[in-house]
Amino acid sequence: MIAREAQGFVYCVSSLGVTGIRDEISLDVGKMIELVKEEKDIPCAIGFGISTPEQAKSLSAISDGVIVGSAIVKIIAEHGKDCVPFVEEYVRKMISKMRE
């Protein structure tokens, strides 16, 4: 029902539980994306706990996008108002790995 009614994109959670940085991400989310795509041709982005370039790479291979939140918030908390170059470096590493 959610897929049928969705507009824009569907946010697929990578695992059950609370948000935050995770050491491992289950690739079972690929089945969820398949089920959404069977219902409606809509972009599916995976989020929830993604924090490493390796996780971003593996999840971007099975989805239309990867959403990173907590890891960026952590960088901002560590560096405060001087965080921009650190966030930029982190995002560039994520993108670079996904393009390999």
pLDDT (tens, 9 = 90+) of the chain, 100 residues, equals 889 999 999 999 886 555 555 455 555 788 889 999 999 999 999 998 899 999 999 999 999 999 999 999 999 999 999 999 999 999 999 999 999 9
CA atoms within 13 A on the CB side of 42: 19
Amino acid letter, 93? K
Domain ranges for the chain, please list them: 2-99
pTM for the whole structure: 0.78
Residue 14, C-beta contacts closer than 8 angstroms, at least 6 positions apart: 22, 25, 26, 29, 46, 47, 48, 49, 50, 59
Q: Is residue 44 within 8 Å of 37, Cβ to Cβ?
A: yes
Q: Which CATH architecture best describes the domain 2-99? A: Alpha-Beta Barrel (3.20)
CA distance 12 to 29: 7
